[in-house]
A = this chain, B = another copy of it.
Amino acid sequence: MKEVCYEHTVQYYETDQMGIAHHSNYIRWFEEARIHFFDVIGMGYKESEKKGIISPVLAVEANYKNMSYFQDVVVIKVSLVEYSGVRLSLKYEITDKATGQLRCTGKSKHCFINPEGRVISLKKVAPEAYDKLMEMVGEQ
């Protein structure tokens, strides 16, 4: 597995007066797709929380290529860029499902901390997810 795909339908309340999906929503679609990515690698948010693992967003960027419109179905492809054992980088590619047109590319950076805010070792607290991430790194 090298990438995970997730679909989102552009909602009316996501449009702005330019008649397009407001650019801040893409950051939210990244999150939707990222949560799905973590589910797929066995690190679902709810279970992670139980284990005391929090993964805040350290940085995010988006490069807008083409506009998205109300009721467009967009496909958000997430893939691993880097995982050092401490920091994780993901990249995103959003395309229009119907036409394949590229809409946006992006990146995000994360770390894993406990509820007290201390950096934790995934290898210890979530060894299966750690192995899966390391395997993905190896595939690149």
Contact = CB atoms under 8 A, between A and B. Distances in A.
Contact of A24 (B31, B45, B56, B61): B31
How many identical subunits does the complex contain? 4
Interface in A47-79: 54, 56-64, 67, 70-71
Interface residues of A, number: 33
A23 B22 CA distance: 16
A12 to B, nearest CB: 6
Interface stretch (A13-21, A89-97, A128-136): A13-21
Contacts of A35: 12
Given A13-B24, A24-B27, A28-B13, A58 B63 contact: yes
A56 B64 contact: yes
